[in-house]
Amino acid sequence: MSHITSARVLVTGGAGFIGSHTVDLLLEKGCKVRIIDNLQPRVHPRGKSLWVPEEAEFIQGDVANPLDLSRALRGVDCVFHFAAYQDYLPDFSTFIHTNAESTALIFELIVSDRKRYPVQKLVFASSQVVCGEGRYSFRGAGEPQRGGEGEKGLGVNPWAILSLRAASEPGRRVM
């Protein structure tokens, strides 16, 4: 999108870590920003935080709910999709429902009515899981041990090493 400064932008998960920084930057650039976030209680135990700016329109809703998402998506040019259920919890189906189904639902709504949902650009976060957890070793019986700190402890997954190097370069931002 060439003219981000005049864009109407939806940030899903805009009250969260990555989403809230994105919201700040977009407002700084002059965008009209809407947030949809369900204020997941584990992430927001005290409700809506002060860092959610008044200048952004805030919808408390669920990205996996077609009615909530349809309301949030209406009339926006660009979507940053950062709403996510995370943290290695064992309710695996909730991950799929929130993270994968919501993504499918965004596309479903967009193709259903291009006038109502004139989205031109979608940005998704990758997952920190692509970096892997590094090398494990077994020292006798019991649980496997993590390989240790730094590059020596990483190993099998080349992306892990690339990420670590990139993260340690001054001024480099890694998402």
Ligand X SMILES: NC(=O)c1ccc[n+]([C@@H]2O[C@H](COP(=O)([O-])OP(=O)(O)OC[C@H]3O[C@@H](n4cnc5c(N)ncnc54)[C@H](O)[C@@H]3O)[C@@H](O)[C@H]2O)c1
From residue 139, give the alpha-carbon distance in Å to each of 74, 142, 146, 150, 154.
56, 8, 11, 20, 17
Is residue 44 within the footprint of ligand X (CB under 6 A)?
A: yes
58 phi, psi to nearest 5 deg: -115, 125
Q: Are 66 and 109 in contact (CB under 8 A)?
A: yes
Q: Does 125 bind ligand X (CB under 6 A)?
A: yes
In angstroms, rounded to a whole number, what is the distance separating the alpha carbons of residues 66 and 149? 44
Q: Please select the residue that binds ligand X; options are 24, 40, 110, 118, rule is CB under 6 A.
A: 40
102-112 helix and 66-73 helix, angle to the nearest 10 degrees: 60
Given the rule CB under 6 A, which of 34-42, 108-116, 137-145, 162-170 is the region that contacts ligand X? 34-42
Distance between CA atoms of 136 and 154, rounded to whole angstroms? 9
Among 2, 47, 93, 126, the residue binding ligand X under the rule CB under 6 A is 126
Q: Which of these segments, 60-68, 134-142, 145-153, 154-162, binds ligand X (CB under 6 A)?
A: 60-68
Of the candidate residues 10, 11, 16, 77, the single one contacting ligand X (CB under 6 A): 16
Among 18, 27, 110, 161, binds ligand X (CB under 6 A): 18
Interaction residues for ligand X, span 132-171 (CB under 6 A): none
Would you tell me which residues interact with ligand X (CB under 6 A)?
13, 15-19, 36-40, 43-44, 62-64, 82-86, 98, 125-128, 175
